[in-house]
Structure formats: structure tokens, C-alpha cells
Amino acid sequence: MNGIIPLYKERGMTNHDCVSQLRKILHQKKVGHSGTLDPSVDGVLPVCVGSATKVVDYLLNHRKVYRGSVTLGFSTETEDLDGDEVDRQPLSAPFTDEAIDTVLQTLTGDLQQTPPMYSAVKVNGRKLYEYARKHETVERPVRTIHVARFDRTAPSTFDETTGTQTFTFEVECSKGTYVRTLAVQAGEALGVPSVMASLTRVESGGFTLQETISLAQVKAAVEDDDLSFLRPLDRALDNYPEIELTTALWRGVQNGVWLLQREVNSDAPIVALRYDNEIKALYKLVDDKYKPLKMFSTK
């Protein structure tokens, strides 16, 4: 059994929970997810099965799109609603939507971001949340991320009783981006504490929310001997131009031979080699030859 499952991860579940359940449902040990989602976040979680686990890294290179909400006026230790409150500054009046939009635009492009303490990023062999739970401090690595767009999606709402203001958003960003940290950065730019109030991943690995399937649906399909929910590993490689191999060239690729550029007839830095209706390998251009970068199948 080989392929990619565009899984819908429900809130309250960890990535490990999803992978563990799929291993039992599919009776398959070789299962791995692409792109971590916090337990409180729902949405698209591409899961690779069998030989498709070889394309996990390529799925991660696709863009990610999230929809969620930010609340201004208080903050938590985890930067979302799962953690204890650490600061509260009730707003006497709401910010204008135009002011919010201006701030969101400053949080686009290439940005420097420090991962939150309550995250799975490893420092000195330990995950940051392990330090946080023991109230230990450690220097966190600063990452360069890219935010293609960060847009408010509806008029904000103001609660006079609590002095909080909430706005919804959609953000398109690169791998490694912590959206809850973006929520905090938006508040900092406005001069108030803030928190990510909700989050759903609507696109990841080239799959959209509309394409996803739940664990219950996977289980029912397997019981009916229906594996149509499995997507080919080709879906992870649609960023690369495809080259159809002749039988003669395929025999060489099976043995890992280099190909002349004129044989491939391309000048793309990386190409996907297809034979018998299946992508078999990625080859990389070096000088005037294409050399094996990643083999997916030799059969």
C-alpha cells in the first residue's frame, strides 16, 4: 500500500495520534506525516504511506495556507488559548480595521521569527516545550520565514465588557512559520498583548481542505476494500517539470546512470522522470548532465 492521504486532523488530536491510528487501520507500519499541527489546530495533514514516505520533504516545500482569528487585549504562555494567561490589558476602544490591516502588511515578506517556548523545536537535543514545562530558559534559534500574504477576512469585533477585540485572517506562509507567533507579533506592533484564538490549516502539501478525508472515513473505506482515498506520490512533485522516459532510458535510470542534457531535453535544474504512468525519480542538472537526486522506484 503506497500513496498520500490528505487527512483532516481534528482538534484535540496530536499528529502522533493520527499516525498511530492510521497504522492500525491500514495495517501498515510505514506511515509518516508532513507538517506538524498543534493539537488545538485542525485541518489538512498530508500523511504518506509506504514508498510515498520518500516524498515527505517535498510535501513540506509546498505553500501552507491557514485561516484563524486573533484576539487583542490579553496573552498566554503558549500564544494560543491552550496556555495560562500571562498578561491582560483591556482595550478602552477598538483599533480601526485599517490600523490592523497596516500592521498585517508589515508582517509579510521575509521575516525573522523566534519559535515559541511551547513548541517541538529542538535545542541541545531537547524540545522547547520540555524546557518550558520545567520553567527553564534556553536561547532559541531565530528563523527566517516567508509570509506571502496576511489578510484580515472580515470586520473585527469589539467586546466592551472584556475590553478585547477579535479579527479573522487568512495567511499564506512557508514551512517553519508559527502562525500563533505571528498573532503575537501583530499585537506587539499595535502595542497590546494578543493571542491566536483559533486556527485551521486549509492548504498543505498541495492539498486543500476540500480534498481531505477523516480517520472515520478512512476506516470505513478500508473495511469496504476501497483505497481510492490514496493519492499518488506524484502530487508531491508537481513543482518539477516531467520528462517521459523511453524504455531504453528507463533501463539506465533503473541502474542509477547519469543522463546527458540532450537526452532529457530540458534545462530545468531538477526534473521528474516518468515511466509507465508513474514518476520514478528526480534528477538534478550538474554541468551538462542530469544526476540522480531521489529514486522512488526501480520497478
Can you give the chain as a three-state secondary structure string? CCEEEEEEECCCCCHHHHHHHHHHHHCCCCEEECCCCCCCCEEEEEEEEHHHHHHHHHHHCCCEEEEEEEEECEEECCCECCCCEEEECCCCCCCCHHHHHHHHHHCCEEEEECCCCCCCCEECCEEHHHHHHCCCCCCCCCEEEEEEEEEECCCCEEECCCCEEEEEEEEEECCCCCHHHHHHHHHHHHCCCEEEEEEEEEEECCEEHHHCECHHHHHHHHHCCCCCCCECHHHHHCCCCEEECCHHHHHHHHCCCCEEHHHHCCCCCEEEEEECCEEEEEEEEECCEEEEEEECCCC
Place of cell 523545536: 121
> For residue 198, which amino acid is it?
S
Q: Decide if 3-62+205-234 and 64-195 have a common fold.
A: yes
Q: Are 71 and 197 in contact (CB under 8 A)?
A: yes
> What's the predicted TM-score (pTM) here?
0.88
Residue 135: the pLDDT is 79
Residue 204: the pLDDT is 93
Residue 37: the pLDDT is 86
CATH class of 3-62+205-234: alpha beta
Which of the residues are catalytic?
38
Give the domain 240-295 fold: 2.30.130
Separation between Cα atoms, residue 137 and residue 187, nearest integer Å? 23
Residue 115: the pLDDT is 78
CA neighbor of 44 nearest in space, from 54, 34, 57: 34
Residue 156: the pLDDT is 97
User: β-strand 270-275 against 242-244: which pairing, if any?
Assistant: parallel
Q: Are 96 and 190 in contact (CB under 8 A)?
A: no
Residue 176: the pLDDT is 86
Q: Are 273 and 280 in contact (CB under 8 A)?
A: yes
CB atoms closer than 10 angstroms to residue 285: 18
**Sequence ranges of the domains in the chain:** 3-62+205-234, 64-195, 240-295
- Which set of grid coordinates corresponds to residue 246? 523511453
pLDDT tens-digit profile, the chain (299 residues):
889 999 999 999 999 999 999 999 999 999 988 878 888 999 999 999 988 888 888 888 888 999 999 999 999 999 999 889 999 999 999 999 999 999 999 999 999 887 776 777 787 788 777 887 877 778 888 889 999 999 999 999 999 999 999 999 999 999 889 899 999 999 999 999 999 999 999 999 889 999 999 999 999 999 999 999 999 888 889 889 999 999 999 999 998 899 999 898 898 999 999 998 889 999 999 988 999 999 888 88
CB atoms closer than 10 angstroms to residue 228: 8
Domain 64-195: CATH superfamily, name plus number: Pseudouridine synthase (3.30.2350.10)
Residue 36: the pLDDT is 80
